[in-house]
Homo-oligomer: A and B are copies of this chain.
Amino acid sequence: MLILHEYAASGNCYKIRLAAALSGTPIERRDYDILKGETRTETFLANVNANGRIPVLQDGGRFLPESNAAAFYIAEGTGLIPADPFDRADMLRWMFWEQYNHEPNIATVRFWMGWVGEENLSDLQRAMLPGKRAGGDAALKLMDEHLANRDWFVGNGPSVADICLYAYTHVAEEGGFELAPWQAVRAWIARVEGLKGYIPITA
């Protein structure tokens, strides 16, 4: 049985739960309160992830950090990973793009607004906020343009790229990003939510 070490409200953890749900893979969940530092304890650092972060997917005695790698692992051998080599690399392209251009903007601002609280931001975080808002808007715009004439990020069906991008996109408004202008993104969100086996982030 795969074990997911997680903090449930994290979009990164949700990616793995959604990949498991859509591929029919059973997982066991272990929750850590990141706000109480439960992923920075000596035991966690020594046994689960030396990087002090969740999610980590455990398979027997092996531990796999990094949400997108774990979602990929769960989806291996299912239709959520394209068979064509170029499409497979193109799926990874969107997943790397998500970690570099999307998550550090959209997920970070959501965390700052919803968990840290705007009034508690440091001066540096406050100074970084406009750049992160612009970066998040640019990411949503790029997604919207890409989806203007296709249903899914890669090929003709849903892949792990859609799962990884959906996780923080569909809750972007919690960070103050607007989804209303991005019609193609909203239609794609509805398509993801219509997939057989779909579970919401609160499940």
Contact = CB atoms under 8 A, between A and B. Distances in A.
A89 interface: yes
Contact of A93 (B64, B77, B85, B128): B64
A90 interface: yes
A96 B124 contact: no
Contacts of A59: 86
Given A69-B89, A70-B89, A76-B89, A131 B124 contact: yes
Given A86-B62, A128-B124, A69 B50 contact: no
A175 to B, nearest CB: 18
Given A76-B89, A104-B104, A50 B145 contact: yes
A153 interface: no
Interface string A116-140: 0000000110011001000000000
Interface string A133-164: 00000000010011000000000000000000
A88 B76 CA distance: 10
A23 interface: no
A95 interface: yes
Nearest to A141: B50
Contacts of A101: 51
A76 B85 contact: yes
25 contacts: A50-B145, A51-B101, A62-B86, A62-B90, A64-B86, A65-B97, A66-B93, A67-B96, A68-B92, A69-B90, A69-B92, A69-B95, A69-B96, A70-B93, A72-B89, A76-B89, A77-B85, A95-B96, A96-B96, A96-B99, A99-B99, A99-B100, A100-B104, A124-B131, A128-B128
